Amino acid sequence: MTPEERKKLTSFLLLSLAGAVLLVSAVIGLLLWHATKQPVSGGDFTLNYQGQDWTFSSHAKDLNLLYIGYTKCPDVCPLTLSHAGEAFERLSAENKKDLQLIFVSVDSEHETPEEVAAYARQFNPDFIGLTGTKTALDQAVGLFHASYIVEKEPGSYLGYSIAHTDRLFFLDQKGHVIDVIQNPRSSDLILQKIKENL
Amino acid sequence: MIRTLALLALVLPFSFAQAAEKAASTNALEITNARIFTPMKGMKMTAGYGDLKNTSDKPLTVKVLDAKGFKAVELHESSHEDGKMKMKKVEEVKIEPTKTFSFKPGSYHLMFFGADPSVVKEGKMVPVEFDLNGTKQVVEFKVMPRTEMKMKK
């Protein structure tokens, strides 16, 4: 083998080795990414708004806030929605165009779509109040890894209460969760998160 | 018969005196920031909050009995359980001597049902009757808009 040929062979081997190292690194990286990536939470859903089907993907804005509760919840639901309403009031008209809040009532047995829509509007005229059949609600709520349980309370005047996830979800245009506030009780924090994600 | 009446005449003044004394000493409970959310439009339910101080030197068992302008009032507790906000009725709360127990959002609170809109109006006072160790005390709660409530939470 001539020195020239030996040089070419060495170069070829070095290049092959580098290529193999790159390939192995890429495969390992891909495997690690698959192993550690967070599952995508959220997605498209259809519920009822004032008696009509309301599909998220047809109404999605740049940033969408989602809260799950029920209108007869007198404590945390109205508090969260009033804080969110206050945060919205502090935004510019420009920001508000790219933003919406969706309140989903999981009390399909006792609340009508019209009641839920009217309830949500009281906190901000642009808030969207949705509900639906139990099947549609379960499907929608499940997308966000949220949950609710209707609990009978025969000793109480209302006769039931609903335990529900207490999180404010921030969704992108595809309905994917990009941020969350646990127990949202501060309009300052809601405003801050809106600005961070808008 | 005459003997019975005579006995009643002897006993009744003492009973009334005892009752009056008990009533005078019932202000064992002081409630500050006593407030009720104005019910949302179309809603008959709402919540009430306040700071309850036991000013006596004995433990106080507090039950809620009645609220003018509402069909029912109950003590409720909101709490986090298994990642969810859960609410349940409680029969009573106990307050140790000189201690303050707060009814606040996301915790213990009063639940009012069946609001009569002609009575439960923003700015009005609603008398709420409590049972304190078996003795009644009425405390007035102010009906307030939610925006003011947030500042006082």
pLDDT for A159-193, tens place per residue?
Answer: 999 999 999 999 999 999 999 999 998 999 999 99
Taking one residue from A and the other from B, the number of pairs with CB-CB distance under 8 angstroms is 89
Distance CA A19, CA A26 (A): 10
Q: For residue B73, what pLDDT is reported?
A: 98
Q: For residue B88, what pLDDT is reported?
A: 92
Q: For residue A152, what pLDDT is reported?
A: 95
Question: What's the pLDDT band for A9 if we cut at 50, 70, 90?
Answer: confident
Q: For residue B28, what pLDDT is reported?
A: 87
- On whether the CB atoms of residues B48 and B34 are closer than 8 A, the answer is yes
Select the more confidently predicted residue: B148 or B79: B79
Q: For residue A4, what pLDDT is reported?
A: 83
Q: Is A73 in Cβ contact with B146 (below 8 Å)?
A: no
Range B28-148: architecture per CATH:
Sandwich (2.60)
Nearest CA to CA, how far is A75 from chain B (Å)? Answer: 6
B42 → closest Cβ in A73, A118, A164: A118
Q: Is A119 in Cβ contact with B106 (below 8 Å)?
A: no
State what percent of residues in chain B have pLDDT above 90. 70
Distance CA A167, CA A93 (A): 26
DSSP A135-153: HHHHHHHHHTT--EEEEE-
Confirm or reject contact between B72 and chain A (CB < 8 A).
yes
Q: Is A163 in Cβ contact with B81 (below 8 Å)?
A: yes
The reply to whether ipTM tops 0.95 is: no
How confident is the model over B13-33, as a mean pLDDT?
58
The model's pLDDT over A111-164, given as tens digits with 9 standing for 90+, comes to 999 999 999 999 999 999 999 999 999 999 999 999 999 999 999 999 999 999
Please report, for residues A3, A140, A168, A189, B139, the alpha-carbon distance to residue A181 in angstroms, rounded to integers and kept in the order given: 68, 19, 5, 8, 36
CA dihedral angle for residue A124, residue A125, residue A127, residue A130, rounded to 10 degrees: 130
The model's pLDDT over A37-85, given as tens digits with 9 standing for 90+, comes to 555 799 999 999 999 999 999 999 999 999 999 999 988 999 999 999 9
Q: What letter would DSSP give residue A156? A: S
Task: Give every CB contact of residue A179 below 8 A, 6+ residues apart in sequence.
Answer: A169, A170, A193, A196, A197
How confident is the model over A13-25, as a mean pLDDT?
82
B105 → closest Cβ in A79, A163, A164: A79
The crossing angle, in degrees rounded to 10, of helices A76-89 and A187-197 is: 60
Please tell me which residue of chain A has the smallest CA distance to B79.
Answer: A163
How confident is the model over B69-94, as a mean pLDDT?
94
Question: What's the pLDDT band for B100 if we cut at 50, 70, 90?
Answer: very high
Please report, for residues A80, A87, A90, A127, B146, the alpha-carbon distance to residue A123 in angstroms, rounded to integers and kept in the order given: 10, 11, 14, 7, 10
Over 90: is that where the pLDDT of B45 sits?
yes
Least confident of A4-8, A46-50, B40-44, B60-64: A4-8
Contacts of B37 in chain A (CB under 8 A): 74, 78
Residue spans of the domains in chain B: they are 28-148
Q: For residue B84, what pLDDT is reported?
A: 92
How confident is the model over B1-20, as a mean pLDDT?
48
Q: For residue B18, what pLDDT is reported?
A: 46
Q: Is B41 in Cβ contact with A118 (below 8 Å)?
A: yes
Q: Is A78 in Cβ contact with B45 (below 8 Å)?
A: no
The model's pLDDT over B113-135, given as tens digits with 9 standing for 90+, comes to 999 999 999 999 999 999 999 99
- On whether the CB atoms of residues A177 and A41 are closer than 8 A, the answer is yes
Over 50: is that where the pLDDT of B149 sits?
no
Over 90: is that where the pLDDT of B83 sits?
no
Q: Is B84 in Cβ contact with A82 (below 8 Å)?
A: no
B84 → closest Cβ in A118, A165, A185: A165
Q: What is the 3-state secondary structure (H, E, C) of chain B?
A: CHHHHHHHHHHHHHHHHHHHHHHHCCCCEEEEEEEEECCCCCCCCEEEEEEEEECCCCCEEEEEEEECCCCEEEEEEEEEECCEEEEEEECCEEECCCCEEEECCCCEEEEEECCCCCCCCCCCEEEEEEEECCEEEEEEEEEECHHHHHHCC
Distance CA B115, CA A84 (A): 26
Contacts of A86 in chain B (CB under 8 A): 147, 150
- On whether the CB atoms of residues A159 and A152 are closer than 8 A, the answer is yes
Q: Is B83 in Cβ contact with A75 (below 8 Å)?
A: no
Contacts of B113 in chain A (CB under 8 A): 157-158
Q: For residue B152, what pLDDT is reported?
A: 43
Contacts of A163 in chain B (CB under 8 A): 81-82, 84-87
Q: Is B80 in Cβ contact with A115 (below 8 Å)?
A: no
